[in-house]
Structure 1
Amino acid sequence: IVEGVISMDSAALHLCATTKTPSFSLFGPSSALAYKPVGKKHHAFQGSCPYEVQFDKRCPHLRTCQTGACLREVSPEVFFEQFEIFWEKVSDKQFVLS
């Protein structure tokens, strides 16, 4: 049994959203506000663009960005800290990293 899903913005994430399974997702060149699954059991972490590019749905440099910094520069520690906060809100299970 799957207790929760951690995923990039992907088909797996959106399939998860069709179930009652909580999800925590990472978005970079696409907007979490526009594309994350809806509901209290779904949370998205939005990577930030160091070039300060603003967009509503998708970064205009999605296929041409040379660095992918909006994803590559996400701090694993900050991402995991945000996940732990989310997990405490949606689950009665203790998260175990294995």
Structure 2
Amino acid sequence: MSITLGALIAITDYNADEPFNAIILLFIFGVFLGGIYPSGAWKFSIALAIFIPIINVLSVIIHGRHDLFISQGIGSFIALIPSVISCYIGAWINKFLTIRHAAK
């Protein structure tokens, strides 16, 4: 499921001029997956975000725009940051709600 969502986010990012839609989707899906599977939050964060740099690097190579390799190709690895943050926020929310529910 996370691979499919990651591919969807990468396609959204590839077709957009600004990365805001992809960041919002990364955050929403990251919180969702981190909340459901808190022990594997780091795995899901990588699975969600890894397709963005892969598609951007392939696009730069295929289109022959080697001048954009650093800014759009390698620079797109920054997508891992909101993905990791959101997955761990979801895991923290799960842990907080579990502790709070157990205390009652």
Q: TM-score, normalised by structure 1?
A: 0.27
Q: TM-score, normalised by structure 2?
A: 0.26
Which structure has the highest strand share of the two?
1
Which structure has the highest helix share of the two?
2
Larger radius of gyration between Structure 1 and Structure 2: 2
Higher relative contact order (CA 8 A, sep 6+): 2
